[in-house]
Amino acid sequence: MELRYLRAFAVVAEELNFRRAAERLGISQPPLSQVIKKLEREVGTALLARTTRRVTLTAAGEAFLVEARRALDAVQAATDRAREAAAGHSGHVRLGFTGPGSYQVLLDLARRFREERPGVRLETVAPFLTGELLEMLHRGEIDAALVRLPVSTTGLRVREITRERFLVALPAEHRFADRTEITVPDLRDQPLIGYPARRGSVLTTAIHGAFHRHGMSPTIRQEAPDMHTAMVLAGAGRGVGLVLETARHLKVPGVVLVPLSGGPEVPLALAWREDDPGPALRAMVALLDDGDSDSESDGGSDGEGAGGGIGAGAG
Protein backbone atom coordinates (compact mmCIF):
# COMPACT_ATOMS: atom_id res chain seq x y z
CA MET A 1 0.00 0.00 0.00
CA GLU A 2 1.44 3.33 -1.07
CA LEU A 3 1.78 6.20 1.36
CA ARG A 4 0.25 8.58 -1.16
CA TYR A 5 -2.97 6.57 -0.94
CA LEU A 6 -3.06 7.08 2.82
CA ARG A 7 -2.35 10.82 2.49
CA ALA A 8 -5.07 11.23 -0.12
CA PHE A 9 -7.60 9.33 1.97
CA ALA A 10 -6.78 11.37 5.09
CA VAL A 11 -7.33 14.65 3.24
CA VAL A 12 -10.63 13.46 1.74
CA ALA A 13 -11.74 12.26 5.18
CA GLU A 14 -10.98 15.70 6.62
CA GLU A 15 -12.69 17.66 3.85
CA LEU A 16 -15.50 15.20 3.02
CA ASN A 17 -15.44 16.89 -0.36
CA PHE A 18 -13.45 15.60 -3.35
CA ARG A 19 -13.07 19.02 -4.98
CA ARG A 20 -11.60 20.68 -1.89
CA ALA A 21 -9.45 17.66 -1.16
CA ALA A 22 -8.07 17.69 -4.71
CA GLU A 23 -7.21 21.39 -4.35
CA ARG A 24 -5.32 20.72 -1.12
CA LEU A 25 -3.41 17.88 -2.71
CA GLY A 26 -2.62 19.86 -5.84
CA ILE A 27 -4.20 17.40 -8.23
CA SER A 28 -7.40 17.25 -10.23
CA GLN A 29 -10.49 15.51 -8.94
CA PRO A 30 -10.63 12.47 -11.31
CA PRO A 31 -7.14 11.13 -10.34
CA LEU A 32 -8.04 11.58 -6.69
CA SER A 33 -11.20 9.53 -7.15
CA GLN A 34 -9.14 6.79 -8.83
CA VAL A 35 -6.68 6.75 -5.91
CA ILE A 36 -9.49 6.29 -3.39
CA LYS A 37 -11.01 3.48 -5.47
CA LYS A 38 -7.60 1.71 -5.65
CA LEU A 39 -7.22 2.07 -1.91
CA GLU A 40 -10.66 0.60 -1.26
CA ARG A 41 -9.85 -2.33 -3.53
CA GLU A 42 -6.65 -2.99 -1.55
CA VAL A 43 -8.47 -2.75 1.77
CA GLY A 44 -11.29 -4.88 0.47
CA THR A 45 -14.20 -2.69 1.57
CA ALA A 46 -15.73 0.74 1.02
CA LEU A 47 -14.19 3.48 3.12
CA LEU A 48 -16.35 6.34 1.89
CA ALA A 49 -20.07 6.57 1.21
CA ARG A 50 -20.65 8.85 -1.77
CA THR A 51 -23.87 10.46 -2.96
CA THR A 52 -24.42 13.35 -5.34
CA ARG A 53 -24.72 15.69 -2.37
CA ARG A 54 -22.31 14.45 0.28
CA VAL A 55 -19.38 12.24 1.18
CA THR A 56 -19.24 10.44 4.52
CA LEU A 57 -17.00 7.89 6.15
CA THR A 58 -18.23 4.36 6.50
CA ALA A 59 -17.65 2.50 9.75
CA ALA A 60 -14.68 0.82 8.05
CA GLY A 61 -13.46 4.24 6.87
CA GLU A 62 -13.56 5.67 10.40
CA ALA A 63 -11.53 2.74 11.72
CA PHE A 64 -9.09 2.94 8.80
CA LEU A 65 -8.61 6.70 9.25
CA VAL A 66 -7.35 6.25 12.82
CA GLU A 67 -4.64 3.81 11.73
CA ALA A 68 -3.84 5.76 8.56
CA ARG A 69 -3.13 8.87 10.59
CA ARG A 70 -0.93 6.87 12.97
CA ALA A 71 1.01 5.49 10.01
CA LEU A 72 1.44 8.94 8.47
CA ASP A 73 2.53 10.40 11.81
CA ALA A 74 5.04 7.58 12.25
CA VAL A 75 6.49 8.18 8.80
CA GLN A 76 6.78 11.90 9.49
CA ALA A 77 8.43 11.25 12.85
CA ALA A 78 10.91 8.86 11.24
CA THR A 79 11.67 11.44 8.57
CA ASP A 80 12.21 14.16 11.16
CA ARG A 81 14.51 11.95 13.23
CA ALA A 82 16.53 10.98 10.18
CA ARG A 83 16.98 14.62 9.21
CA GLU A 84 17.96 15.56 12.79
CA ALA A 85 20.50 12.75 12.89
CA ALA A 86 21.95 13.76 9.53
CA ALA A 87 22.35 17.33 10.82
CA GLY A 88 23.99 16.16 14.06
CA HIS A 89 21.04 17.18 16.25
CA SER A 90 20.39 13.67 17.52
CA GLY A 91 22.32 10.50 18.03
CA HIS A 92 24.84 9.19 20.51
CA VAL A 93 28.50 9.99 21.19
CA ARG A 94 30.65 7.82 23.50
CA LEU A 95 33.46 10.02 24.83
CA GLY A 96 36.42 8.60 26.73
CA PHE A 97 38.62 10.75 28.95
CA THR A 98 41.82 10.42 30.91
CA GLY A 99 40.72 10.83 34.50
CA PRO A 100 40.49 13.63 37.09
CA GLY A 101 42.97 15.81 35.23
CA SER A 102 40.62 16.25 32.28
CA TYR A 103 37.48 16.99 34.30
CA GLN A 104 37.46 20.72 33.51
CA VAL A 105 37.72 20.23 29.75
CA LEU A 106 35.14 17.46 29.92
CA LEU A 107 32.79 19.70 31.91
CA ASP A 108 33.15 22.61 29.47
CA LEU A 109 32.76 20.41 26.41
CA ALA A 110 29.75 18.53 27.80
CA ARG A 111 28.02 21.76 28.83
CA ARG A 112 28.47 23.42 25.44
CA PHE A 113 27.46 20.26 23.61
CA ARG A 114 24.28 20.00 25.68
CA GLU A 115 23.43 23.64 24.96
CA GLU A 116 24.00 23.39 21.21
CA ARG A 117 22.95 19.76 20.61
CA PRO A 118 20.39 18.89 23.32
CA GLY A 119 19.08 15.96 21.27
CA VAL A 120 22.44 14.13 21.27
CA ARG A 121 23.09 11.71 24.11
CA LEU A 122 26.65 12.07 25.43
CA GLU A 123 28.00 9.01 27.24
CA THR A 124 31.29 9.44 29.12
CA VAL A 125 33.62 6.47 29.46
CA ALA A 126 36.49 6.77 31.96
CA PRO A 127 38.95 6.92 33.43
CA PHE A 128 41.65 5.45 31.22
CA LEU A 129 45.14 6.45 30.18
CA THR A 130 45.83 7.79 26.69
CA GLY A 131 47.20 4.51 25.35
CA GLU A 132 44.15 2.60 26.55
CA LEU A 133 41.79 5.18 25.05
CA LEU A 134 43.50 4.93 21.67
CA GLU A 135 43.05 1.15 21.70
CA MET A 136 39.38 1.58 22.59
CA LEU A 137 38.97 4.01 19.69
CA HIS A 138 40.39 1.52 17.21
CA ARG A 139 38.20 -1.26 18.56
CA GLY A 140 35.12 0.93 18.15
CA GLU A 141 34.29 0.87 21.86
CA ILE A 142 34.20 4.69 22.00
CA ASP A 143 33.66 7.38 19.36
CA ALA A 144 36.11 10.00 20.61
CA ALA A 145 38.51 10.58 23.48
CA LEU A 146 40.27 13.35 25.36
CA VAL A 147 43.91 12.26 25.15
CA ARG A 148 47.37 13.60 25.82
CA LEU A 149 49.66 14.31 22.88
CA PRO A 150 51.77 13.30 21.13
CA VAL A 151 50.23 10.11 19.81
CA SER A 152 51.74 8.06 17.03
CA THR A 153 48.76 5.90 16.17
CA THR A 154 47.58 5.93 12.56
CA GLY A 155 43.96 6.14 11.48
CA LEU A 156 43.04 8.95 13.86
CA ARG A 157 42.18 12.62 13.60
CA VAL A 158 43.32 14.90 16.41
CA ARG A 159 42.18 18.37 17.43
CA GLU A 160 44.29 20.03 20.12
CA ILE A 161 42.36 21.85 22.84
CA THR A 162 44.93 23.22 25.28
CA ARG A 163 48.47 22.85 26.62
CA GLU A 164 49.67 22.72 30.19
CA ARG A 165 52.91 22.90 32.10
CA PHE A 166 53.97 20.70 34.98
CA LEU A 167 53.65 21.51 38.66
CA VAL A 168 55.57 19.81 41.43
CA ALA A 169 53.35 18.35 44.16
CA LEU A 170 55.10 18.45 47.54
CA PRO A 171 54.15 17.82 51.15
CA ALA A 172 53.80 21.15 52.94
CA GLU A 173 56.87 20.43 55.11
CA HIS A 174 59.18 19.76 52.12
CA ARG A 175 62.22 22.03 51.85
CA PHE A 176 61.09 23.19 48.37
CA ALA A 177 57.54 23.98 49.47
CA ASP A 178 58.09 27.72 49.90
CA ARG A 179 59.74 28.22 46.49
CA THR A 180 58.10 30.17 43.67
CA GLU A 181 59.42 27.65 41.12
CA ILE A 182 61.46 24.46 40.92
CA THR A 183 63.78 23.39 38.10
CA VAL A 184 64.27 19.89 36.73
CA PRO A 185 67.85 19.70 38.07
CA ASP A 186 66.44 20.49 41.52
CA LEU A 187 64.68 17.14 41.37
CA ARG A 188 67.83 15.15 40.60
CA ASP A 189 67.87 13.27 43.90
CA GLN A 190 64.15 13.44 44.68
CA PRO A 191 62.06 10.23 44.69
CA LEU A 192 59.30 10.78 42.15
CA ILE A 193 55.77 9.49 41.80
CA GLY A 194 55.26 8.51 38.18
CA TYR A 195 52.50 7.06 36.04
CA PRO A 196 52.12 3.57 34.52
CA ALA A 197 53.95 3.70 31.18
CA ARG A 198 52.88 0.13 30.41
CA ARG A 199 49.29 1.38 30.18
CA GLY A 200 50.18 4.14 27.75
CA SER A 201 50.67 7.17 30.01
CA VAL A 202 51.89 10.10 27.92
CA LEU A 203 52.82 11.94 31.13
CA THR A 204 55.49 9.34 31.84
CA THR A 205 57.04 9.96 28.42
CA ALA A 206 56.99 13.73 29.03
CA ILE A 207 58.63 13.36 32.45
CA HIS A 208 61.44 11.16 31.12
CA GLY A 209 61.97 13.56 28.20
CA ALA A 210 62.29 16.55 30.55
CA PHE A 211 64.95 14.80 32.65
CA HIS A 212 66.85 13.44 29.66
CA ARG A 213 67.18 16.95 28.22
CA HIS A 214 69.18 17.78 31.35
CA GLY A 215 71.28 14.63 31.10
CA MET A 216 69.41 13.00 33.95
CA SER A 217 67.06 10.10 34.59
CA PRO A 218 64.06 10.43 36.90
CA THR A 219 64.07 8.36 40.07
CA ILE A 220 60.55 6.97 40.05
CA ARG A 221 59.84 5.15 43.30
CA GLN A 222 56.10 4.63 42.91
CA GLU A 223 53.39 4.86 40.25
CA ALA A 224 49.97 6.46 40.52
CA PRO A 225 47.02 5.81 38.20
CA ASP A 226 46.18 9.53 37.95
CA MET A 227 47.25 12.98 39.08
CA HIS A 228 44.87 13.12 42.03
CA THR A 229 46.36 9.93 43.44
CA ALA A 230 49.87 11.27 42.80
CA MET A 231 49.02 14.31 44.92
CA VAL A 232 47.64 12.16 47.72
CA LEU A 233 50.79 10.03 47.71
CA ALA A 234 52.95 13.16 47.71
CA GLY A 235 51.04 14.46 50.72
CA ALA A 236 51.68 11.16 52.47
CA GLY A 237 55.43 11.60 51.94
CA ARG A 238 55.78 8.80 49.41
CA GLY A 239 57.63 11.01 46.94
CA VAL A 240 57.40 14.13 44.81
CA GLY A 241 54.53 14.21 42.32
CA LEU A 242 54.64 15.79 38.88
CA VAL A 243 51.18 16.95 37.87
CA LEU A 244 49.75 19.36 35.32
CA GLU A 245 48.37 22.84 35.90
CA THR A 246 44.76 21.69 35.97
CA ALA A 247 45.59 19.83 39.20
CA ARG A 248 45.19 23.14 41.02
CA HIS A 249 41.47 22.40 41.32
CA LEU A 250 42.19 19.01 42.94
CA LYS A 251 42.48 20.14 46.53
CA VAL A 252 44.52 17.77 48.70
CA PRO A 253 45.18 18.88 52.31
CA GLY A 254 48.85 19.25 53.16
CA VAL A 255 50.00 19.36 49.53
CA VAL A 256 51.73 22.36 47.94
CA LEU A 257 51.94 22.87 44.16
CA VAL A 258 55.00 24.70 42.79
CA PRO A 259 55.54 25.47 39.06
CA LEU A 260 58.24 23.41 37.33
CA SER A 261 60.48 25.87 35.48
CA GLY A 262 61.71 24.72 32.09
CA GLY A 263 59.45 21.70 32.01
CA PRO A 264 57.59 20.59 28.88
CA GLU A 265 54.10 21.59 27.81
CA VAL A 266 51.72 18.67 27.43
CA PRO A 267 48.81 19.12 25.00
CA LEU A 268 45.31 17.79 25.60
CA ALA A 269 43.33 16.93 22.47
CA LEU A 270 40.18 15.34 21.16
CA ALA A 271 40.91 12.25 19.06
CA TRP A 272 38.56 10.22 16.87
CA ARG A 273 38.76 7.70 14.05
CA GLU A 274 39.31 9.37 10.72
CA ASP A 275 36.84 6.99 9.05
CA ASP A 276 34.02 7.87 11.50
CA PRO A 277 31.34 9.74 9.51
CA GLY A 278 28.98 10.35 12.44
CA PRO A 279 27.22 13.75 12.20
CA ALA A 280 26.91 14.02 15.99
CA LEU A 281 30.64 13.50 16.38
CA ARG A 282 31.34 16.09 13.68
CA ALA A 283 29.17 18.52 15.63
CA MET A 284 31.29 17.91 18.73
CA VAL A 285 34.50 18.54 16.78
CA ALA A 286 33.00 21.77 15.45
CA LEU A 287 32.73 23.07 19.03
CA LEU A 288 36.51 23.17 19.18
CA ASP A 289 36.88 25.41 16.14
CA ASP A 290 37.87 28.97 16.82
CA GLY A 291 37.80 30.06 13.19
CA ASP A 292 41.47 31.06 13.21
CA SER A 293 43.09 27.90 11.94
CA ASP A 294 42.41 24.27 11.23
CA SER A 295 44.31 22.36 13.87
CA GLU A 296 43.26 18.89 12.76
CA SER A 297 46.10 16.49 12.13
CA ASP A 298 46.51 12.80 11.54
CA GLY A 299 47.26 10.58 14.51
CA GLY A 300 50.89 10.16 13.53
CA SER A 301 51.77 13.77 14.28
CA ASP A 302 52.15 15.73 17.47
CA GLY A 303 48.74 17.29 16.96
CA GLU A 304 50.19 20.81 16.80
CA GLY A 305 47.83 23.78 16.71
CA ALA A 306 45.53 25.22 19.33
CA GLY A 307 41.84 24.49 19.32
CA GLY A 308 39.38 27.06 20.61
CA GLY A 309 36.54 27.61 22.99
CA ILE A 310 37.10 24.93 25.65
CA GLY A 311 38.79 25.56 28.98
CA ALA A 312 42.06 24.11 30.20
CA GLY A 313 42.33 20.54 31.46
CA ALA A 314 44.61 17.56 31.80
CA GLY A 315 44.75 13.84 32.20
Residue 315 lies in a domain: no
Q: What is the pLDDT of residue 153?
A: 67
Vertex 259: Cα angle to 270 and 288 (nearest 5): 20
Residue 305 lies in a domain: no
Q: Could you tell me the residue range of the domain that residue 242 belongs to?
A: 164-265
User: Do 154 and 272 fall within a single domain?
Assistant: yes
Over residues 170-189, the pLDDT tens digits come to: 999 999 999 999 999 999 99
Over residues 231-273, the pLDDT tens digits come to: 999 999 999 999 999 888 888 999 999 999 988 899 999 999 9
Residue 18 lies in a domain: yes
User: Do 175 and 258 fall within a single domain?
Assistant: yes
Residue 156 lies in a domain: yes
CATH assignment at residue 102? 3.40.190.10
Contacts of 218 (CB under 8 A, 6+ apart): 187, 192, 194, 207, 208, 211
Over residues 115-157, the pLDDT tens digits come to: 888 888 889 987 788 888 999 999 999 999 999 888 866 889 9
CA 9 to CA 314: how far, in whole Å? 61
| DSSP alpha helix (H) spans, 102-226 | 103-116, 130-139, 202-212
User: Do 137 and 251 fall within a single domain?
Assistant: no
Q: What is the pLDDT of residue 305?
A: 35
The closest of 177, 237, 170, 244 to 207, measured between CA atoms, is: 244
Residue where a domain stops, chosen among 53, 86, 119:
86
Over residues 37-46, the pLDDT tens digits come to: 999 999 999 9
User: Do 36 and 116 fall within a single domain?
Assistant: no
Q: Is the pLDDT of residue 306 over 50?
A: no
Count structural domains, the chain: 3
The closest of 94, 98, 312 to 200, measured between CA atoms, is: 98
Q: What is the pLDDT of residue 84?
A: 65
Identify the residue with better confidence: 275 or 167.
Answer: 167
Residue 304 lies in a domain: no
Residue 209 lies in a domain: yes
Q: What is the pLDDT of residue 261?
A: 94
User: Do 61 and 110 fall within a single domain?
Assistant: no
Q: What is the pLDDT of residue 304?
A: 34
Q: What is the pLDDT of residue 230?
A: 94
User: Do 171 and 244 fall within a single domain?
Assistant: yes
Q: What is the pLDDT of residue 86?
A: 67
User: Do 18 and 156 fall within a single domain?
Assistant: no
User: Do 112 and 245 fall within a single domain?
Assistant: no
User: Do 137 and 174 fall within a single domain?
Assistant: no
**pLDDT band at residue 200 using 50, 70 and 90 as cut-offs:** low
CA 105 to CA 161: how far, in whole Å? 8
Q: What is the pLDDT of residue 290?
A: 42
Element (H, E) at 3: helix 3-15
Q: Is the pLDDT of residue 302 over 80?
A: no
Over residues 65-122, the pLDDT tens digits come to: 999 999 988 888 777 777 766 666 668 889 999 877 688 888 888 898 888 888 888 8
Residue 113 lies in a domain: yes
Over residues 11-65, the pLDDT tens digits come to: 999 999 999 999 999 999 999 999 999 999 999 999 999 887 889 999 999 999 9
User: Do 191 and 260 fall within a single domain?
Assistant: yes
User: Do 233 and 294 fall within a single domain?
Assistant: no
What's the number of CA atoms in the CB half-sphere (13 Å) around residue 27?
15
Identify the residue with better confidence: 304 or 226.
Answer: 226
Q: Name the pTM for this structure.
A: 0.65
Q: What is the pLDDT of residue 307?
A: 38
Q: What is the DSSP string of 73-135?
A: HHHHHHHHHHHHHHTTSSEEEEEE--SGGGHHHHHHHHHHHHHH-TTEEEEEE----HHHHHH
CATH assignment at residue 65? 1.10.10.10
Q: What is the pLDDT of residue 247?
A: 87
Residue where a domain stops, chosen among 86, 103, 135:
86
CA 284 to CA 126: how far, in whole Å? 18
User: Do 35 and 157 fall within a single domain?
Assistant: no
Residue 307 lies in a domain: no
